[in-house]
Structure 1
Amino acid sequence: MSHGQKAKFRVLIAADTYPPHVNGAAKSCYRLATNLTARGYDVHVVSPHHTGGPDTVEYHDEATVHRLKSYAAPTHEFYRLVMPRHANRVIDNLVSELSPDVVHAQCHYMIGDAAISSAERRRIRLICTNHFMPENLDPFIPGPQFFKNIVSKRSWYDMGRLMRKANVVTTPTRLSADNMNDKARLDYVVPVSNGIDVVKYELEEQESIVRHPHPTALFVGRLAVEKNVDVLLKALTMTDPDLNVHAEIIGDGELRDSLRRLADQLGVADRVVFRGLVSDEELREAYLRADVFTQPCTAELQSLASLEAMSASTPVVLTDAMALPHLVSEGVNGYLFQPNNPEDMARKMNTVLGASREEQLAMGQASHYFASQHDHERIMDILHKIYHGATSDEVSVMISEAKLR
């Protein structure tokens, strides 16, 4: 069957990052494609090629992936740039050929821009989702801060200009929606969680996990500036010596070498394991083995890693910034600490790791309950209705009812 012949409801997902890239937005897009395909949708993804080379089409279990010729961003380790003229031409041709029922843009840069414009031109139902804040690009933009501020302001303007064309605009959290309403002048953004497979991270019947020999704090994420992994390493030096707290760090990124050097300089290298990238099964086991999950990032719009850890019934110590406070009930499933304050982080880690096993288990169970509110089946029900015509107001009502349940 050619692309033009449709037997199923067809969705075109436009994304500026997609696996094998490893980051929250790429993971969210992959999960969206996988869940849509499982529900019988015909899913296509258009994204930058993750290496050099011409436009290609890849056939994966979760989707048909259309890769566009791209170029390495000079200031970022993995981000790829697609030239606007090329993106506009190829994506417009692709939309014309596929004739999707819905275009779901996951960004407003390059590929997102082209997909939004094409969907509007062809009167195709358009959904836009925003995964990050323009300020997150600051570390990768050369020049003084005033120039970075100009770029950020322009990005917010472009977000509003483009996403205003959508039938429904979503973002993972209420905080992000409020920011977009304020800075991008969008007045109808609805918070729709990215969703996670809660059951995947639960301990199965008859399954046992060997605990760490020492109380262990886990971090999962990119080793990038905005993740503030250095705060965790510094906090480790301030934890109670009697607890002998260790740290397990999963992920890779441009700061991998400097963080290893910092661990040496701080004298905690013997208590830190840098595992790099791991398989899904190894990641699941790490969540289940961890005594506490930590997230020192100050720029999280949702933090899928935190939700995954919570699904594994793990207590959390998260920074009191952006969307993370929404994941913590103080003293119930964990604690918040002041941003970029390793001393406060250490205090909160001591509180969790110094608690009795019964108290830790109770915090873990509370974490699991909070994470279950983001179960992907519930989120997919909402997206299904969005794709088939639900308005922003109707989506808001659905989300409120889901929380009441």
Structure 2
Amino acid sequence: MNALPLRSAPAAPEALPGAPVEEPPALAVAGARVPRLRVLIAGDTYPPDVNGAAHFTHRLATGLAARGGQVHVVCASPEGPARTETGDGVVVHRMRSAPLLVHPTMRVSLPAGLGRALAGLIARVRPQVVHVQGHFVVGRAAVRAARAAGLPVVATNHFMPDNLFQFGRVPARLRGRAGDLAWRDLIRVFARADHVTTPTRIAAGLLRDKGLACDVEAVSCGIDLERFRPQPRPWAREWALRRFGLPDRPTVLFVGRLDEEKRLEDLVLALPHVLNHVDAQAVIAGTGGRRAGLERLAARVGVGDRVRFLGFVPDDELPRVYAAADVFAMPGVAELQSIATLEAMASGLPVVAADAMALPHLVAGNGRLYRPGDVQAMARHLTTVLTSDGLRAEMSAVSLAMAAGHDHRRSLARFEEIYRELAAEQ
């Protein structure tokens, strides 16, 4: 997943707060004048970072801007120095950052001076609402600054402690305790928000179970159903196979980060059992710290020539990746929604997924669930789907019907409603 290129702007508001922005003109909606929304979205990750939270934040910001909103984003700088840039109608304020020592690619905003910078930015932009995308450095500083300015706060959770265990090198025996501490920290920050959302009902229930006393609304991250849709066969599949240099075989696809919680070892270990019944291949699109280990594992179990790693695939080419596949596999155990699974469903693919976290929310008649780690069950389900044209067609129809309820325009409209309701209460 990748963002469109951004153009640098000369002034950085954290250094030069400047004058308040001019009040934007109102929009004409059904003959009425509706004031444009001014929203500040704050998060610790944003493109060029490649992860679900960054992808969602970018799509939310650009989607709101396309609907007429005045949108500012504050996030960590990907290089270090602070700067301000614009693109797709969004003003992005990148704060000073340093490498995150426990992560190979991510950077973290420096806490020193961040509160002052955010206070200056809020005074200049004068947002009607602040929407934070997490509870880490930028998110918690934005909550404090918004509260000091008397602004309403929306908080959306994309976090699971499992996402950090690999990079923090937390021993298995300590993960339960470390997870409890991480949840407690998140709850302290999110308890100060006026409205809390998360992508699914299962994820909302998890927050309540972890001690968040306020109501939590499930608002899907949403996907662009105009981009992700079934492609005409057979030519679209043939073109996609040629584009990515793939043999014409029954294809199991995974799209996402190649990190520990994605449990891609399960897919590699299941493939030899699938090959006992069907001449298949597994295609893995994405980057991450587990690739070398996965390549070694595939070679060790004798499927090195049947596991194809595509590496990073630009966002504009993702629909073609799905067109090359016959079934989508999601073995991850820390998915609060799984945008990639939704994209696969919208592309008409059946799904074989781990029965973990929010994935059961996406699998009902359109695929099969298996107990995490049960590679034999995963292999059986993949084999069943790959060897039955009729079953794949039935599952494809259900995937399309389920994905239709996750149109990103519906999600954008709901967030606009939340913003206006909170702004009206001030």
The answer, yes or no, to whether TM exceeds 0.5 is yes
Opposite residue 418 of structure 2, the aligned amino acid is I
Counterpart residue number, 1:337: 370
| Residue of structure 1 in register with 2:12 after alignment | none
Q: How does 1:83-122 map to 2 (within 5 A)?
A: 83-122=110-149
Cα deviation for residue 160 of structure 1 reads: 1.8
Tell me if structure 1 keeps the 8 A contact 2:20–2:123. Answer: no
Provide the rounded CA distance (Å) in 2 between the counterparts of 1:2 and 1:62: 20
CA-CA distance at 1:139 after TM superposition: 1.9
What does the per-residue CA deviation read over 1:263-289, in whole Å, with 9 as the maximum and x for residues that have no partner? 111211111110001122321011122
Counterparts of 1:367-378 in structure 2, within 5 Å, are 367-378=399-410
Matched with 2:390 is: 358
**Local SS of the residue matching 1:297:** coil
Counterpart secondary structure, 1:200: coil
Measure, in 2, the Cα distance between the counterparts of 1:297 and 1:192.
Answer: 21
CA deviation digits over 1:298-337, x for unaligned, max 9? 11000000000000011110110000001011xx211011
Counterparts of 1:1-400 in structure 2, within 5 Å, are 4-7=21-24, 8-52=36-80, 54-142=81-169, 144-145=171-172, 148-203=175-230, 208-211=235-238, 213-329=248-364, 332-355=365-388, 357-389=389-421
User: How much does 1:190 deviate?
Assistant: 1.0
Alpha-carbon separation, structure 2, partners of 1:236 and 1:154 = 37
Q: Which stretches in structure 1 are left out of the alignment for 5+ residues? A: 392-405
Q: Verify the 8 A CA contact 1:288 1:309 in the aligned structure 2.
A: no
Cα-Cα RMSD:
2.0
- The Cα of 1:359 is off from its aligned counterpart by 2.6
Measured at CA, do residues 92 and 146 of structure 1 come closer, stay the same or move farther in structure 2, by a change above 3 Å? farther
Shift of 1:92: 1.8
Question: Does the 8 Å contact 2:152/2:422 carry over to 1?
Answer: no
1:11 Cα deviation after fit: 0.7
Q: Aligned pair in 2 of structure 1 residues 5, 147: CA closer, same or farther (>3 Å)?
A: farther
CA positional deviation for 1:187? 3.1
Q: Distance in 2 between matches of 1:51 and 1:292?
A: 38
The answer to whether the Cα contact below 8 Å between 1:201 and 1:288 also exists between their aligned partners in 2 is no
Amino acid at match of 2:270: A
Cα offset, 1:136, TM superposition? 2.7
The number of residue pairs the alignment matches comes to 387
* Deviation (angstroms), 1:153: 2.5
Instruction: Say if 1:221 and 1:205 are closer, same or farther in 2 by CA, change over 3 A.
Output: closer
Question: Within 2, Cα distance between the matches of 1:382 and 1:367?
Answer: 23
> Cα distance, 1:378 vs. partner?
1.3
Distance 2:303 2:89 in 1: 42
Give the deviation of 1:72 after TM superposition: 1.1
Q: Counterpart in 2 of 1:395?
A: none
The answer to whether the Cα contact below 8 Å between 1:30 and 1:62 also exists between their aligned partners in 2 is no
1: CA distance, partners of 2:416 / 2:339: 21
- What's the CA shift string for 1:107-131, capped at 9, x where partnerless? 0110000001111111112100000
Shift of 1:2: 6.1
CA contact (8 A) 1:159 1:184 kept: no
Deviation at 1:64, TM superposition (A): 0.9
Letter in 2 for 1:238: H
* TM superposition score normalised by structure 2: 0.86
State the shift of 1:150 in Å.
4.2
Q: CA deviation at 1:375?
A: 0.7
* Cα distance in structure 2, aligned partners of 1:134 and 1:296: 17
Q: CA–CA distance in 2 between the matches of 1:174 and 1:235?
A: 30
Q: Which runs of 5+ in 2 are unaligned?
A: 1-17, 25-35, 242-247
1:249 alignment partner, SS class:
strand
Specify the SS of the correspondent of 1:104. strand
Percent of aligned pairs sharing the same letter:
41
Residue 247 of structure 1, CA deviation: 0.8
| CA–CA distance in structure 2, aligned partners of residues 20 and 226 of structure 1 | 21
C-alpha change, 1:323 and 1:206, in structure 2 (3 Å) is: closer
Secondary structure at the residue paired with 2:377?
Answer: helix
Paired residues of 2:228 and 2:319 also in contact (CA < 8 A): yes
* Secondary structure in 1 matching 2:101: coil
Please state whether the residue corresponding to 1:199 is helix, strand or coil.
coil
| 315 and 146 in structure 1: CA distance in 2 versus 1, 3 angstrom threshold | closer
Give the TM-score, by structure 1 length.
Answer: 0.91
Q: For the Cα contact (< 8 Å) 2:198–2:204, is it kept in 1?
A: yes
Distance 1:191 1:167, change over 3 A: same
| Contact 2:346–2:404 (Cα < 8 Å) also in 1 | yes
Q: SS at 1:46's partner residue?
A: strand
Higher alpha-carbon deviation: 190-199 or 318-327: 190-199
